[in-house]
Amino acid sequence: MKKGVIIAIIVILILLIVAGATYFIFEQKAMQEREYEIEKVEEYKYFVSKAKDETKFGVINAKGELLVDEKYDSVEIPNPSKEIFLCTNNEKNVVLNSEGDQLYTEYDNIELLQLKNVASDLMYEKSVMKYEKDGKYGLINLEGEALTEPIYEEIDTLQYKEGELLVKKDGKYGVINQKGYVLVEPLYDKITADTFFDDEEKYYHDGYVVANKTDNGYRYGYVAYNGKEYLDTLYNDLQRVTEAGNKDEVYLIVAENGRYGIFKNDKQLIETDYQSISYDSNVSIFIVQQGKLYGAIDLEGKQILSCKFEELDVKGKYLYTISGENQEVYDVNGNLTNISPNTTIVAIPENDEYTIRVDTEENQTNYQICKQDTPINGESYKYIAYLKDNLCIASKTGEKLGIIDLQGNEKSEFSYTSIQVIPNTELVQMVKDESIAIADKSGNIITEMENGQLIQKDNYLRIYNETDQKYISLGGQIISNKEIFKDNKLFVTIKDGKWGFEDAEGNIIVEPIYDRATEFNKYGFATVLKDGKWGMIKQDGKVGIDPSESDVTLQAEPQFISEYHQIQLSSGKAYYTK
């Protein structure tokens, strides 16, 4: 081979390597720009306050000191850990700090961005605001630094997705993140989040259902969370099957000229040949309709049952079909079983050994727990439903409920009207008549209280009534208030049904003369109730607001910051007032 040719090949290889490396670096940088982190507010320092006798608002700090005079039509705080307050009078907005200085005067107008369908005790984006200049909008952070130029006709929050914003440019919508980076180019007439959810990342990995308007109505497409366009805007309808797949495995039901099909990411899994398609998450199967007949297809696009049945229903873990007078039951692989059409087999989550068998004959329904398809004993119930771990809810009469385990052992009385798992705990809440009980993961009653109310916090449960209260760890142990509120100096104590406060050694500091009391909050104030009126105790045990002189008569326990108490509005907004 000639030397010149060898040199040319080497040069080409070097160029390919450089091009590949450049592309890789570009892609990595783009992914880093797409990623963002939602700020966590660890400490609330600033709060909206309201004048006592007029509808004017200001700002107080965690000591109850008035920082911004209560003279504004509205005050909004995007992040209560930072001294940034949007104050409005006569529809004119100004941004103030705790000294009352006006900030960011270089912008024509600044507005907060209200979250939509986001589970948060805060109402706004916590790290950014939108600003207006020359009739267009841009994005700034809370330090006033411009994150985008004012190039958008609109900036709004995107439903379900904190940290992402819907923007309009040249009449078309796109999406940017809280850093100002473009996630979806502004090319569409409509964009919505697909509502995919997982326990760890919440809605962070939602993709985008995009649409453009045509003479024949909207046509829909799909853009993944990473910005890849899976489907162009060609379809009459499009929805994501959020119960199937994961962030990188997206199932999309699409409609084209009245016919439905399925895509897995950008690959067509099922042709658009069906009148309807629905998904059953219990058996991970699509039920499809052709003409007036039904069939079933699995997540890989394999036909489980052809479209030859007049009816096809999923009951428990099997498929029940009707064709003429013929009724048959199939398993999820399409195999015919010998199960009676009057019997339903319900799977136990993450347990292949046990099932719940439901038999219906002559309008009588009986439930049994089975192990490997065989009843564990001769006992049958009017109702059984899986609860958690090794436990089920059961009823012998069809009215009162109790708990049994998968081995058939009764773990509680059958006297309850409601039994449910307490979210994010190993515990079960049980209600009967006027009492409430808390049971552990084995069904054993931890505590029970007449006329009890239950409050769940991040690391404990509080169950209380007018004359008693108990604290329970999320693992199911009875614990004391002194174990939970370790930084407090005083703690609620109850004597003969009356509430007061004692110190860590058990010495009475505030005599138990009140009808109810709360522990001291993180700001150093406790709430007390007497004769239907709420007052406040300071952390040194002195009375800050005597209930007899108070006009606070709320049903719920109010939170105090000095002389201010919190009012929670149905809109989600809250303020403090005297």
pLDDT digits (tens, 9 = 90+) for 38-48: 999 999 999 99
Strand pairing of 574-577 and 564-568? antiparallel
The per-residue pLDDT for 28 is: 56
CA atoms within 13 Å, Cβ hemisphere of 297: 22
Task: Tell me if 382 sits within 8 A of 368, measured CB to CB.
Answer: no
pLDDT, one tens digit per residue, over 255-287 is: 999 999 999 999 999 999 999 999 999 999 999
pLDDT band of 6, cuts 50, 70, 90: low
Distances (CA, A) of 567 to 77, 85, 445, 515, 560: 16, 19, 36, 21, 10
pLDDT band of 19, cuts 50, 70, 90: low
The per-residue pLDDT for 363 is: 83
User: How far apart are alpha carbons 111 and 92 in whole angstroms?
Assistant: 10
User: How far apart are alpha carbons 88 and 83 in whole angstroms?
Assistant: 16
Question: What contacts 291, CB < 8 A, 6 or more positions away?
Answer: 275, 307
Give the DSSP per-residue string, 376-390: SSS--BSEEEEEETT
- This prediction has a pTM of 0.89
pLDDT, one tens digit per residue, over 106-146 is: 998 999 999 999 988 899 999 999 999 999 999 999 999 99
Q: Phi/psi of residue 10, each to 5°?
A: -60, -45
Span between the terminal Cα atoms of the chain, in Å: 93
Give the DSSP per-residue string, 20-70: HHHHHHHHHHHHHHH---PPP-----EEEEE-SSSS-EEEEETT--EEEEE
In terms of Cα–Cα distance, which of 153, 166, 71 is closest to 115?
A: 166
User: How far apart are alpha carbons 75 and 171 in whole angstroms?
Assistant: 32
pLDDT, one tens digit per residue, over 23-79 is: 545 555 556 789 999 999 999 999 999 998 889 999 999 999 999 999 999 999 999
CA 370 to chain centre: 35
The per-residue pLDDT for 30 is: 55
Using the structure block, give the residue that is written with the tokens 């109010």: 558
Give the DSSP per-residue string, 386-435: EEETTEEEEESSSSSBEEEETTS-B-S-S-BSEEEEPTTSS-EEEEETTE
DSSP label at residue 548: G
